[in-house]
C-alpha cells in the first residue's frame, strides 16, 4: 500500500472541515424549504442514482478483479454493496413523488436497512482482518456463494418491507419529520461510524497508510449523513438533500479505499513487477551476450530434446545462429556421431537426474565442454539447462604440457643414456678399427658392418646430447639467404647421388633475421635430408621465400610419398618417426630451435603428392 503524502492529508482535512461547516450551518441555522416537490424529487433521484452507481462499481470491482486479487475482504465488501445498491434502488423507486409510492414509510425503511447493511458488512470485514489468518481464497465457488447470498438477502428484505410495510413501526411522523425510532436508529448508526472514525484514525496514525485515511473519511461523512437526516422536519427540506450529499461522499471514499488497496496498488505492484521482470530479462540477455560461452535450455518432446533457448557469444564464433538451433534437436545441426553422443547424455540427465559434464569435438580441433542439469520450474514441465564453453585452447595447452613433460623425461633419459654408452662405444670402436687392419676378408666384412652400426649409435647419442644438453646459443643478425645458399651447396653433392634436384629461386635479394646461425643451419639440413629420404627414386625439392606480415617464410616442398593425415599430429614427438632407422629426435629438435627463435614450424602433406615444411621467422 502507498504511503500518505502531505498533499493528500491536506485534501482530506479540507473535505472534513467543509463537511463539518455545512453540518453546523444546518444544525444552528433554520433554512427555509425553497425546493418544490418535483425539483426535490429530481435532485433526490439524481443523488440516489449516484450512490447506486458507486455501490455497483464497488461490486463490479470486487467481482471482476477476483481472478487477480483472490481477496475475501474485497469480495465480501462487494457482496455487501450489491445488497446496499439493490436496497437503494427500492428506496428511490418508492420515494414520495414516484408512482409506486403510497406512503414514505417503505422508502425510509429501505434507507435504514441499506445503512445497517453497510455497517454490518464493514464490521464483518474488520472482524475478518483481525481474526482470520487466511484472507485469500482460490475457490471461485466462494465468490459465487457470497454474491448469491447477497441477492437472496436483498430480495428477502425487499419482500418483507413491501409485504409488511403497514405492520412495520413508523419512521416518518404525520408532520413529515422523523420519529424517535428512526432518530434512535440513525444515532446508533452514527455511533458506529464514530467508532470507525476513531479506530481508523488510530490505524492511520501508526501506519500512515492511504487506505486508512480514505476509510476514515468515509466513516466521517456517513456519520454526518446519519446525524443530518435526524433533524429535517419534512422530506422536502434542503437538509434532507445535504444528508444524501454526505452519503455520496461516504460511499465514494469507501470505493477509493478498497480500489486503492485491492485494485490500484496490486496493479501498480504488478506493473512494477512486470517492469522489474523486463529489466531482469534485459539484464539476463546482456549476461548471455557477454557470456563467452553458450547458454542452452531444452525440453523433451516425443523422443527428441528440443532447444527452447540458445544464445551466447560463442554461437557466432561457431558460425551458428539461433534460428538453426532453437526449435530443433542436435540432430538438426550437428554431425550424426556427435548428435548421437549428446542425445545419449541428455537421456541420462533426463531420466537419472545426474549433472552432466561432457567434452565433444564439434568441428575438427574445436572442442567444447557442456555442463547440463535437469530442473523443474514451479508449475511447468521439466527442462534441461546448461552452459557450453570452448576448451580448444585448453586442450592445446594440455597437449603442449604433455609434450613438454615428455621432452623433459626424454632429456633426462638422454643425458643418462648418452653418458653411459658413449665411453663403451669409443672403446669398442677402437678395437674394431684395430681388427679391421687384419687382412682376413671375412673379418674386414664383419668389422665394416659393425663400424657402420657403431657410427649410427654415435649419431643417435649425439642427437640425445642435443636434446639433453643443448648447445649455447649465440644470437646475432644474420643473412638468411646466405645461410640457405650455404646449406644447399653443402647438400647438393649428396642430393645428386640420390637423383634429387634442390631448387631455390626468389625475388627477395636480401633479408636479415635475428638468431643463431649454427642452429638454423641444423634445422635446414634436417628438413632437406628428410625431404631427400622421402624420395628414394629421386625428384625435385623446391625452396620458396616469401614475406608474411612480420615473418619471413621458408617453404621446402618435396615430391615424396607424403604423410597420412592421421599421423600428422604426432610429428615432432620424441622416438616417433616414419623412417626405418630414424629416432624422431631430429624433427623434435627442429621444433625446439624454431620456437626458441619465436618462430613457427608448420607441416602439411598429401599422400602420393608430397610434403611442405614452412618455417616462419620474425624479421
**At 325, which CATH number?**
3.30.450.20
422 and 382 in a single domain? The answer is no
Kindly tell me the sign of the dihedral angle through the C-alpha atoms of 168, 174, 178, 181. negative
pTM for the structure as a whole: 0.49
Pair (293, 257) in one structural domain: no
Please report the pLDDT score of residue 231 as a whole number.
Answer: 83
Nearest Cα neighbor of 550 from 597, 602, 615, 619 is: 619
Of the listed ranges 139-143, 515-519, 577-581, the one predicted with least confidence: 577-581
Residue 66 or residue 597, greater confidence: 597
Judge if 75 and 137 occupy the same domain. yes
Assess if residue 279 is contained within a domain.
no
Is the pLDDT at 84 greater than 70? The verdict is yes
Reported as a pLDDT band with limits 50, 70 and 90, residue 288 is low
Domain C-terminal end among 441, 468, 495: 468
The total domain count for the chain is 4
Does 264 have pLDDT greater than 60?
no
Please give the pLDDT value at position 359.
84
Examine residue 282 and state whether it is found in any structural domain, yes or no.
no
Answer yes or no: is 2 within a domain.
no
Residue where one domain finishes, among candidates 271, 301, 335: 271
Residue 382 has pLDDT above 90, yes or no: no
- The pLDDT value recorded for residue 412 is 58
For 289-309, how does the pLDDT look when each residue is reduced to its tens digit (9 = 90+)? 555 678 888 898 888 899 888
Spell 438-464 as b/e; 16+ CB within 10 A means b: eeeeeeeeebeeebeebeeebebbebb
Q: Is residue 296 part of a domain?
A: yes
DSSP letter for each residue of 549-565: TTEEEEEEE--S----G
pLDDT reading at 1 higher than 50: no
C-alpha dist (Å) from residue 75 to 62, 247, 443: 5, 22, 120
Instruction: Identify whether residues 488 and 600 lie together within a single domain.
Output: yes
Asked if residue 276 belongs to a domain, the reply is no
User: What is residue 172's predicted lDDT score, i.e. its pLDDT?
Assistant: 84
What is the rounded CA–CA span in Å between residue 611 and residue 522?
A: 19
Complete DSSP assignment for 51-116:
HHHHHHHHHHHHHHTHHHH-BHHHHHHHHHHHHHHHHHHHHHHTSBTBTT-SSSHHHHHHHHHHHH
DSSP state of 232: -
380 and 453 share one domain: no
Q: Confidence class of residue 461 from pLDDT cuts 50, 70 and 90? A: low
Nearest-angstrom CA–CA distance, 286 and 280: 10
- Whether 245 and 306 share a structural domain: no
pLDDT at 510: 84
- Position with higher pLDDT, 421 vs 592: 592
Instruction: Assess whether 317 and 372 both reside in one domain.
Output: yes
322 and 382 both lie in a single domain: yes
Q: How far apart are CA 581 and CA 91, in angstroms?
A: 119
Same domain, 152 and 78: yes
Cβ atoms of 602 and 545 closer than 8 Å: no
What is the separation of C-alpha 530 from the centre of its chain, rounded to a whole number of angstroms?
Answer: 57
Q: Is 23 inside any structural domain? A: no
Residue 440 structural domain:
398-468
Instruction: Let me know whether 308 and 364 are in one domain.
Output: yes
* DSSP code for 376: -
Residues 6+ apart with CB under 8 A from 369: 357, 358, 359, 388, 389, 391
CATH number at residue 124: 1.20.1070
Q: Who has greater pLDDT, 126 or 422?
A: 126
Check whether 186 has a pLDDT greater than 80. Answer: yes
Residue 15 domain-assigned (yes or no)? no
Query: SS3 for 150?
Result: helix
Pairing of strands 539-548, 551-557: antiparallel
| In contact, 149 and 79? CB cutoff 8 Å | yes
pLDDT over 90 at 50, yes or no: yes
Mean pLDDT, the chain, rounded, equals: 80
Helix or strand holding residue 449 (H, E): helix 441-468
Could you say which of 407, 439, 468 is where a domain stops? 468
Q: Is 214 exposed, middle or buried (0-12, 13-18, 19+ CB in 10 A)?
A: buried
Give the CA-trace dihedral at 27, 28, 33, 39, to 10 degrees. -40
Residue 86: the pLDDT is: 93
Q: Are residues 187 and 306 in the same domain?
A: no
- Classify residue 18: in a domain, yes or no: no
Give dist(CA 248, CA 261) in Å, integer. Answer: 20
Residues 87 and 183 in one domain: yes
Q: Residue 584: its pLDDT value, please? A: 57
Structure confidence at residue 159 as a pLDDT band (50, 70, 90): very high
Asked if pLDDT for residue 318 goes beyond 90, the answer is: no
CB of 523 within 8 A of CB of 593?
yes
Q: What is the mean pLDDT of residues 234-250?
A: 84
For the stretch 553-587, pLDDT in tens is: 999 999 988 888 877 776 766 655 655 555 556 77
Q: In this predicted model, what pLDDT tens digit does every residue of 478-513 receive, in sequence order? A: 898 888 988 888 888 788 888 889 988 887 888 888
pLDDT band at 441 (very low <50, low <70, confident <90, very high): low
- pLDDT at site 268: 59
Average pLDDT over residues 139-146: 84
Amino acid at each position: 500500500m502507498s504511503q500518505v503524502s502531505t498533499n493528500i492529508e491536506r485534501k482530506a482535512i479540507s473535505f472534513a472541515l467543509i463537511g463539518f461547516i455545512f453540518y453546523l450551518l444546518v444544525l444552528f441555522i433554520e433554512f427555509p424549504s425553497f425546493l418544490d416537490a418535483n425539483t426535490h424529487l429530481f435532485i433526490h433521484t439524481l443523488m440516489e442514482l449516484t450512490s447506486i452507481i458507486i455501490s455497483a462499481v464497488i461490486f463490479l470491482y470486487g467481482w471482476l478483479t477476483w481472478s487477480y486479487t483472490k481477496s475475501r475482504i474485497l469480495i465480501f465488501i462487494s457482496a455487501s454493496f450489491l445488497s446496499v445498491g439493490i436496497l437503494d434502488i427500492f428506496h428511490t423507486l418508492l420515494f414520495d413523488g414516484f408512482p409506486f409510492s403510497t406512503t414514505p414509510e417503505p422508502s425510509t425503511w429501505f434507507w435504514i436497512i441499506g445503512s445497517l447493511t453497510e455497517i454490518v458488512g464493514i464490521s464483518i470485514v474488520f472482524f475478518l482482518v483481525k481474526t482470520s489468518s487466511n484472507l485469500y481464497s482460490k475457490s471461485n465457488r466462494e465468490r459465487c456463494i457470497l454474491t448469491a447470498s447477497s441477492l437472496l438477502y436483498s430480495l428477502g428484505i425487499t419482500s418483507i418491507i413491501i409485504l409488511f410495510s403497514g405492520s412495520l413501526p413508523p419512521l416518518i411522523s404525520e408532520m413529515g419529520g422523523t420519529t424517535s425510532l428512526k432518530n434512535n436508529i440513525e444515532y446508533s448508526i452514527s455511533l458506529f461510524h464514530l467508532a470507525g472514525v476513531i479506530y481508523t484514525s488510530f490505524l492511520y496514525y501508526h501506519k500512515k497508510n492511504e487506505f486508512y485515511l480514505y476509510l476514515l473519511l468515509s466513516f466521517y461523512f456517513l456519520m454526518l449523513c446519519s446525524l443530518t437526516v435526524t433533524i429535517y422536519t419534512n422530506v422536502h427540506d434542503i437538509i434532507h438533500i445535504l444528508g444524501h450529499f454526505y452519503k455520496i461522499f461516504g460511499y465514494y471514499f469507501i470505493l477509493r479505499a478498497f480500489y486503492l488497496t485491492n485494485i490500484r496498488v496490486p496493479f501498480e505492484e504488478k506493473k512494477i513487477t512486470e517492469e522489474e521482470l523486463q529489466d531482469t530479462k534485459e539484464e539476463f540477455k546482456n549476461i548471455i551476450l557477454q557470456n563467452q560461452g553458450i547458454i542452452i535450455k531444452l525440453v523433451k518432446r516425443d523422443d527428441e530434446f528440443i532447444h527452447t533457448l540458445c544464445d551466447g557469444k560463442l554461437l557466432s564464433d561457431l558460425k551458428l545462429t539461433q534460428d538453426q538451433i532453437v526449435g530443433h534437436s542436435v540432430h538438426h545441426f550437428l554431425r550424426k556421431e556427435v548428435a548421437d553422443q549428446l542425445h545419449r547424455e541428455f537421456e541420462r540427465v533426463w531420466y537419472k537426474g545426474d549433472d552432466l559434464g561432457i567434452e565433444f569435438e564439434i568441428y575438427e580441433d574445436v572442442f567444447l565442454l557442456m555442463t547440463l542439469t535437469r530442473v523443474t520450474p514451479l508449475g511447468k514441465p521439466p527442462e534441461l539447462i546448461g552452459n557450453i564453453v570452448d576448451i580448444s585452447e585448453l586442450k592445446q595447452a594440455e597437449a603442449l604440457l604433455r609434450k613438454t613433460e615428455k621432452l623433459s623425461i626424454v632429456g633426462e633419459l638422454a643425458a643418462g643414456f648418452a653418458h653411459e654408452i658413449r665411453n663403451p662405444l669409443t672403446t669398442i670402436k677402437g678395437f674394431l678399427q684395430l681388427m679391421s687392419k687384419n687382412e682376413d676378408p671375412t673379418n674386414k666384412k664383419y668389422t665394416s658392418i659393425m663400424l657402420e652400426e657403431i657410427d649410427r649409435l654415435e649419431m643417435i647419442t649425439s642427437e640425445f646430447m642435443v636434446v639433453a644438453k643443448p648447445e649455447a646459443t649465440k644470437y646475432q643478425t644474420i643473412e638468411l639467404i646466405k645461410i640457405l645458399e650455404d646449406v644447399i651447396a653443402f647438400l647438393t653433392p649428396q642430393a645428386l647421388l640420390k637423383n634429387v634436384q634442390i631448387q631455390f629461386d626468389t625475388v627477395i635479394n636480401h633479408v636479415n633475421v635475428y638468431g643463431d646461425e649454427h642452429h638454423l643451419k641444423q634445422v635446414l639440413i634436417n628438413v632437406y635430408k628428410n625431404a631427400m629420404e622421402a624420395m628414394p627414386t629421386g625428384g625435385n625439392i623446391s625452396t620458396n621465400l616469401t614475406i608474411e606480415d612480420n615473418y619471413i617464410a621458408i617453404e621446402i616442398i618435396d615430391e615424396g610419398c607424403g604423410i597420412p593425415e592421421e599421423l600428422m599430429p604426432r610429428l615432432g614427438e620424441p622416438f616417433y618417426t616414419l623412417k626405418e632407422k630414424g629416432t624422431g629426435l631430429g624433427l623434435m629438435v627442429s621444433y625446439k630451435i624454431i620456437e626458441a627463435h619465436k618462430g613457427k614450424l608448420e607441416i602439411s602433406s598429401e599422400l602420393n603428392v608430397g610434403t611442405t615444411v614452412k618455417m616462419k621467422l620474425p624479421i
